[in-house]
Amino acid sequence: MLSKEEVLARLNKAGYESYLVGGFVRDKLMGRESSDIDIATKAHPNQIEEVFKDFKIIDIGKNFGTIRVIGDGQEYEITTFRKDFSYKDKRRPGQVIFADKIETDLERRDFTINALALIDDNLIDPFGGQLDIKEKIIRAVGSPYERISEDYLRALRALRAVRFAANLGFNIEGELQEAIKKNFKNLAYISVERQAAELDKILLGPDPARGIRLLDKVGLLNEIFPEVSAMIGFDQHSPHHYLDCFDHSLKVLEGTPSDLATRLAALFHDTGKPATFFLDEKGQGRFFGHQKISQDLAIERLKYLRYPKKIIEDVSILIGRHMDSSNTYTEKSVARLLRKLGQENIRRLFDLQEADILATVHEDISNINQGRKFLKKILDSKPVLSRKDLAISGRDVIELGFEQGPLVGHILRKIERAVFEENLKNDRDTLLSMARNIGLKLDRKTYE
């Protein structure tokens, strides 16, 4: 396997000063594992390609100085020392300006904890990044107001500051916080896909609730998730809740496993409460239909941020059904849920419901645990979850003498439902007999 030491040795032997940089160096100083290995070099892209001509090379940004080298399955991004980009407009980088010294390259980086370089045991740290790591501070390199200014790359740094602070357990330095607050409108210069990518890293991190609170603290939450921001301070007037809507949602969020659909559902599951709130005759808050409103709000926001269709569908399902646990789970109800949602989403739903309950005054998750037991029992019996699991196919039904078309589909749907819900034995002879009986009893003209 091509090691990082060999990559550096090749470049330096060829006369090109080269260093490990950025996140890998930061993580090494923190005693953390890192698979994100970036190398900065004085070599220009064509020279990098020449040094590694006997390895697979991918041009992932040659115009901007970046080449990916792959050796025995290990990948390394190698980038020429650079100054800041010039920009065609607020969004698109124009010309890259290469540099001769590592210090110039580090000067363009966002935060001191990332403006680090390492060769052998020699640390290059011109901006005090090592001390900021020790003191757990996210601090801009140079002026924070210049670092969070009106272009694509710099505006993105506001979200990166929140992500690093949340995931590393650091604090954002005061001046940098103020710079983000004063320039939060620059978020508009970042593509929604890049916004979503940073948000995903926050939500999947070790402390997603802290990430959301930091977004609010620096003025970004209302710009990114206004539906979530609207829950801040919203008193639920409920004997079941000891937290306002926002704090409850964040407690649910931190109680879920690191799964994107589940965590997005946790964040949005009660966003419909402010719109559906009313006080009953006892002065208690009621939120009839809040699941549907929360669903709609989540779908609209995630579509805007261009999340994949599957993620949006899964989040919608989880939000729409998060109140199902108010009814006692039975083996039959869990079986129906399993068939409708599939294994992955029913497990996610139980996770969401458990976190939701534990964020209330009750903390009784016995119904969820019962649901999980029923699920295991059902899965152990290898149920028919879809038509492909049946012991017969559409071709078998046609061979019984039924004409291909809607009638065959109808017969298979009835068999599928019977096998799943009525424990009809899933063997070929039994199902063929049932198919024949169903088909003969139907009015074929309806399906012609």
Which CATH number covers residue 193? 1.10.110.30
pLDDT band at 141 (very low <50, low <70, confident <90, very high): very high
What residues does 281 pair with on adjacent strands? none
Q: What pTM did the predictor assign? A: 0.86
Same domain for 334 and 279? yes
What confidence tens digit (pLDDT) does each residue in 311-339 have? Answer: 999 999 999 999 999 999 999 899 889 98
The secondary element (H helix, E strand) that includes residue 79 is: strand 74-80
- From residue 281, alpha-carbon distances to 235, 286, 396 in Å are 17, 10, 61
What confidence tens digit (pLDDT) does each residue in 43-61 have? Answer: 999 999 999 999 999 988 8
Same domain for 216 and 273? no
Same domain for 373 and 276? yes
Same domain for 408 and 318? no
Tokens representing 66?
A: 């970046």
Question: Whole domain around residue 9: which residue ranges?
Answer: 4-135
- From residue 262, alpha-carbon distances to 292, 421, 429, 445 in Å are 17, 28, 42, 46
Report yes or no on 235 lying in a domain: no
Same domain for 275 and 310? yes
Average pLDDT, the chain: 90
Same domain for 291 and 366? yes
Q: With contact defined as beta carbons under 8 Å apart, do 45 and 62 qualify?
A: yes
Report yes or no on 210 lying in a domain: yes
User: Where is the domain boundary, 105, 135, 165?
Assistant: 135
Same domain for 128 and 8? yes
Same domain for 215 and 296? no
Q: Looking at residue 424, what is its pLDDT? A: 73
Report yes or no on 238 lying in a domain: no
Report yes or no on 117 lying in a domain: yes
pLDDT band at 285 (very low <50, low <70, confident <90, very high): confident
Tokens representing 258?
A: 């690191």
User: Where is the domain boundary, 117, 135, 153?
Assistant: 135
Asked if residue 446 has pLDDT above 70, the reply is: no
Report yes or no on 391 lying in a domain: yes
User: Where is the domain boundary, 331, 348, 380?
Assistant: 380
Q: Looking at residue 103, what is its pLDDT? A: 96
Return the sign of the alpha-carbon dihedral for residues 416, 420, 422, 428: positive
How many Å separate Cα 114 from the centre of its chain? 23
Same domain for 212 and 122? no
Report the CATH number that the domain containing residue 23 is assigned in CATH.
3.30.460.10
The structure tokens 């290995």 sit at 37
Asked if residue 156 has pLDDT above 80, the reply is: yes
Report yes or no on 126 lying in a domain: yes
Length of the chain: 448
- Report the pLDDT averaged over residues 380-392: 77
Same domain for 151 and 197? yes
Same domain for 308 and 404? no
The count of domains in the chain is 4
Report yes or no on 418 lying in a domain: yes
Q: Looking at residue 245, what is its pLDDT? A: 96
Report yes or no on 430 lying in a domain: yes
Asked if residue 384 has pLDDT above 70, the reply is: no
Helix, strand, coil proportions of the chain in percent (round to 5)?
Answer: 55, 10, 35
Same domain for 169 and 282? no
Q: With contact defined as beta carbons under 8 Å apart, do 79 and 19 qualify?
A: no
